[in-house]
Amino acid sequence: MNGVDEHDEARERIEIDLLLEAIQRRYGYDFRGYALASLRRRLWHRTYGEGLQTLSGLQERVLHDPACMDRLLRDLSINVTEMFRDPSFHRALRERVFPLLRTYPFVRVWNAGCSTGEEIYSLAIALREEGLLDRTRIYATDIDDGALERARSGSFPLDRMQRYTENYQRAGGSDAFSSYYTASGASARFDPALAAGMVFAQHNLVTDGSFNEFQLIVCRNVLIYFGPKLQEEVLGLFGQSMTRRGILALGRKESIRHSTHADEYEPLVESEKIFRRRS
Amino acid sequence: MSATGLVAIGASWGGLRALETVLGALPEDFAAPVVIAQHRQADATDGTLVRLLDARCALTVCEAEDKQELDPGLVLVAPPDYHLLVEPGAVALSVDPPLNYSRPAIDVLFGSVAHAYGERAVGVVLTGANADGALGLAQIAGRGGTAIVQDPETAERREMPEAALWATPEARVLELTQIAPALTGLAGTREESAR
């Protein structure tokens, strides 16, 4: 540590800006509106992971080596999640949201930023138990193809199943959780029937537009990685992608309070950050 | 304006009692925002810790929400199973993988504090049975901020303060009851700042 060095700070900011611009121009991924504190950690994580010392060094490698960009993209996009994360949220979905979905002959759900798919399978299991799965299509999108590939496989680490079983039960699950998967080596392979109504697609919340209208949009712990301006844009995108009186479910500590879109919603389950459009 | 822009506190084993002592002795008009990373179970989502602390101190204590603003005298606690980070003027959350087996991790919080607040940051490491916070405290000190460590002799668990002192030997070592007066001396009160 060499004490305070304002120049270090200023130089790092320049390096981050240049790196993000390079990524945007070369690959089309736009991380410039991401929240700086997390972004900075993740960029340094990849820099050290590549055996490099500076963000400028990372910029050079990313520009010349698409495989390095793939690794960086993974670092910047994978959100660690689990099945039935926050059981009280999933209980609220089942008890308060599904009865509203039941009033539609055909239901469309968008899981935005689905990562490796733990959440869509949680949704599918609960929808099946409530008799809604057959008439529901779940659109699962993520920026990262690699994560989508894993989501599509419907396989999760077997050693996580004890934890997921507890979550499932606390979330109001009524069946034997183990009836939903078969063990195959170190993986738990989930019943393919759960995936019958799932559609997987690469979609970038930052640069891609609305592609359908949904009764329910689930986007948990994705907006926390975005800066305020980008959060605003994505909330706008969600608004355009919802049916009348559509429902938006965010992460437990995410908020729409500071957004200009806040007035468009009323809380449906306030403690779980489940909102419903007023019109 | 206070020279102290932000106070960041890290605590683990025995942290609730230590935090009660420190926060409970801060005046109602404490002039800096406070952020806290306290290790706890990922599913401790009923808000017990925050309710206890809020009931026992003059400042308002709440669980941080993403992008919540940092206000003088407001104490924001990292929610269970999230990392808490700060940017100038506001907090940000992340669900990046645990660090030091912890989420929230003190090192993640302190690293962001060092970066965003530089010499206007104060980092405090309290009781705990691991080494989380040591690296982050060194980053705060390295950028000219103030490093404070609970005296290991008076800590419920001494490992975490000792690790912090190993990484930042120049840190001020204080008994638990001396920490709040020291923080008030550094950050001042809003009445003083208004003068």
- Shortest CA distance to B32 belongs to which of B163, B155, B156, B180? B180
CB of B23 closer than 8 Å to CB of B52: no
Polymer length of chain A: 279
- Number of Cβ pairs < 8 A linking chain A and chain B: 80
Tens of pLDDT along A210-267? 999 999 999 999 999 999 999 999 999 999 999 999 999 999 999 898 899 999 999 9
CB A76 within 8 A of CB A37: no
Tens digits of residue pLDDT in B80-123 = 999 999 999 999 999 999 999 999 999 999 999 999 999 999 99
Indicate the residue type of A57. Answer: G
B66 closest CB neighbour out of A2, A79, A255: A255
CATH, range B6-194? 3.40.50.180
User: Chain B contact for A224, CB < 8 A?
Assistant: yes
Residues of B in contact with A253 (CB under 8 A): 63-66, 79, 82, 93
Write down the domain spans for chain A. 6-77, 87-277
Q: By the CB < 8 Å criterion, does A270 face chain B?
A: no
% residues pLDDT > 70 (chain A): 97
Residue matched to tokens 């002039």: B31
Could you give the C-alpha distances from B168 to A247, B13, B125, B183, in angstroms and in order? Answer: 50, 21, 11, 18
CB proximity B111 to A under 8 Å: yes
- If one compares B74 and A78, the residue with the highest pLDDT of the two is B74
Q: How confident is the model at residue A5 (pLDDT cuts 50, 70, 90)?
A: low
pLDDT of residue B43: 78
Question: In terms of pLDDT, which residue wins out, B3 or B155?
Answer: B155
Q: Please tell me the distance in Å from A12's CA to the nearest CA on chain B.
A: 11
Q: Is A255 exposed, middle or buried (0-12, 13-18, 19+ CB in 10 A)?
A: middle
Instruction: Output the CATH code of domain A87-277.
Output: 3.40.50.150
